[in-house]
Amino acid sequence: MPPVWQALVAVAVATGALAGAAALGGRSRPAMVSATVACWAMWAVMLLAALVPSVAGLAALRALAPLHLVAVIVMWAAGAGTWRGLAATLAAVAAVTAIGAAESGRAMVQASAYGDERRFPLRIPAPLALPIVLSWLVWAAAVVLAVIGLGTRRWVLGTVLAAAGVALGGFLWRRWLGLARRWLVIVPAGLVIHDPVMLGETVMLPSATVRRMELARQGTGSLDLSGPASGHLLDIEAADLLTVLVRRGRDAQAIHARSVLVAPSRPGAALAGWRQPATPPPST
């Protein structure tokens, strides 16, 4: 993750902590304990994920950064003060924007790459966008209301909501991590399409079998492995017929195709990476 964006996360946490301290001033002990424990647990994960980039860290940041934004808005409404609340909210918005950027995603998945791998994250399939947002909203509501419930001594309600938030978070975590583990990989030996969401198994194309990789043209007959996703797609044609296992619910269907479509978040960078081989390390 670029250092500037790591700094944005750190600033978001710092301003959030100041806003939280102001909002909790004079509150009851249950309110202070529940809010402090929940917030610092969230902030600790955010800081660790930003400072130690990884695929899991990317999934965690993209789930927690918007939750942090919700939290600081609640703090502002709860009496954090105009300037503290405004500063925390602006910093949170900046952090969410940075974490959601394609460059941030690529930097974090590349940090977990092996050897000469160059990973290019794939965009989320359009049909999954609404379910992802709605499920996140339900989870975030459960977490925030659990903290409020415990802080206001509504023990039964708060406990039930906290349990629901933990259970739903565990269920969604596997989905979030799966979405973060979707990428087009360029290696010295060829291309790899790694997509546990759309594919039953990884697609591997040796360099000698790749006829072309270019921006997809309208009306192409290539097999769409993007979801479909919005934006520009890359069209990859192989010299030989490919057998691709495409997920259909819990099953996978074998489809034969000579060319496929994928949707890197930065298709131009992926094309440039394919046309320009990785620079070998200097000899000693």
- Rounded Cα gap, residues 65 and 94, in angstroms: 10
pLDDT of residue 48: 96
Q: Name the DSSP letter for residue 210.
A: E
pLDDT of residue 281: 46
pLDDT of residue 136: 97
Sheet containing strand 210-215, strands side by side: 210-215, 234-248, 251-262, 223-224
Domain boundaries, the chain: 3-180, 183-275
Q: Quick check: 69 and 89 in contact, CB under 8 A?
A: yes
Residue from 189, 181, 195 nearest 226 by CA: 195
pLDDT of residue 279: 53
Residue from 49, 63, 133, 119 nearest 273 by CA: 119
Helix axes 126-151, 29-51, angle to 10 degrees: 140
User: What is the CA angle 126-233-205, rounded to 5?
Assistant: 110
Per-residue pLDDT of the chain (284 residues; tens, 9 = 90+): 678 888 999 999 999 999 999 999 888 899 999 999 999 999 999 999 999 999 999 999 999 999 999 999 999 999 889 999 999 999 999 999 999 999 999 999 999 888 889 999 999 999 999 999 999 999 999 999 999 999 999 999 999 999 999 999 999 999 999 999 999 999 999 999 999 999 999 999 999 999 999 999 888 889 999 988 988 999 999 998 999 999 887 788 899 999 999 999 999 999 999 988 655 544 44
Residues sharing a CB contact under 8 Å with residue 118, sequence separation 6 or more, in sequence order:
110, 185, 186, 187, 273, 278
- Rounded Cα gap, residues 104 and 99, in angstroms: 6
Instruction: Classify the C-alpha dihedral 27-31-36-38 as positive or negative.
Output: negative
